[in-house]
Amino acid sequence: MKRREFITLLGGAAAAWPLTAWAQQSDRMRRIGVLVGLAESDPEQKLRIAAFLDGLRDLGWSDGRNLRITYRFGASDPGRRRAYAAELVALMPDVILANSTPVLPAIREATQTIPIVFTLVADPLSIGLVESLSHPGGNITGFATTEDPTSGKLLQILKEVDGSISRALTIWDRSDPFHARRLLAIEEAAAAFKVQVTKADVQSATQIEHAIDSFGREPNGGVIVLPSGSTAAHRDLIILMMVRHRLPAIYAYRYFAASGGLLSYGIDTIDLHRRAASYVDRILRGEKPGNLPVQQPTKFELVLNLKAARAIGVQFPATLMANANEVIE
């Protein structure tokens, strides 16, 4: 063989090697662990997982064909979160999807080596889970939700629905480390609108019912429900209480309005899970999570529920109807 022919052959083999190596590597079954705060039966959880699976399928991954996905649902309290995190880490998955702010630290405590992609985590930088948003470092990256200014906008929209509101009950959860910041944004907006804010730190159904009953006895009230594991789990009760007291209430996520709540304004939670599939794909193909920048929300949606409006006797302004991304009949 001539020298030039040998060099050409060697160069061609070298160029083809990465593709061959990836093909051999991709032949093996990959494993993904998924830890979710919501219950397995929760409709919102099902939509999130379906979007994540759709995103994976678009990228060539399918559960049962070249993926094996193990789920743990209902990680609503610290003990259960830690137990589920340990179970998933023991399976040695190639990557773990962590859904929600309380879930991520439990996974992070269980492993500092297995790649983690998170969704719906509020400001991971401030709690030290990433080194920076542009270059997170370590084994964690994902899709954040920094919603402090949005929390103040919730009160603004609520006032558009009912201009007579002079009192606002904010339902929050002290165990969520970012609710205090969201409360501050709401209080700043309340000062501008001359609205008195009452705070209700609730976790249980009994606490929720008592807080709304007490607040609903006086007129000119409106309610802001911040997103948390407890408000998600008890959203049917919260919505029922709003109808009972004829209180206009606004929520941060669409699934509250879809469940019968009056209206919601916030990030598109389903879109984040579809986008999360792209990071899982890149990690499975060899990229390091620490080199993938933390993504911020890009889609916000205003959702109105006309049936809920009729139930409490309010009418949405025409401007709000025109700006809505979705109107539920």
Give the model confidence (pLDDT) of 215-246 as tens digits.
999 999 999 999 888 899 899 999 999 999 99
Measured CA to CA, the distance from residue 162 to residue 38 in angstroms comes to: 32
pTM over 0.75: yes
Fold of domain 148-268+301-328: Rossmann fold (3.40.50)
Burial per residue of 41-79, b for 16 or more beta-carbon CB atoms within 10 angstroms, e otherwise: ebebbebbbebbbebbeeeebeeeeebebeebbbbbeee
**pLDDT 10s digits, 53-74:** 999 999 999 999 999 999 999 8
Q: Delimit the CATH 3.40.50.2300 region(s) of the chain.
A: 29-146+269-299, 148-268+301-328
Give the CA diameter of the chain.
Answer: 95
> What backbone torsions phi and psi does residue 143 show, to the nearest 5 degrees?
-125, 110
Model pLDDT, residue 106: 92
Fold of 29-146+269-299: Rossmann fold (3.40.50)
- Whole-angstrom distance, CA of residue 261 vs CA of residue 242: 8
CB-count exposure of residue 170 (10 Å: 0-12, 13-18, 19+)? buried
Position 182, amino acid: R
pLDDT for res 148: 63
Residues of the chain with pLDDT under 70: 1-27, 146-149
Query: For residue 30, which of 59, 7, 56, 61 has the smallest C-alpha distance?
Result: 61
Position 18 scores a pLDDT of 42
CA dist 188 and 180 (Å) reads 12
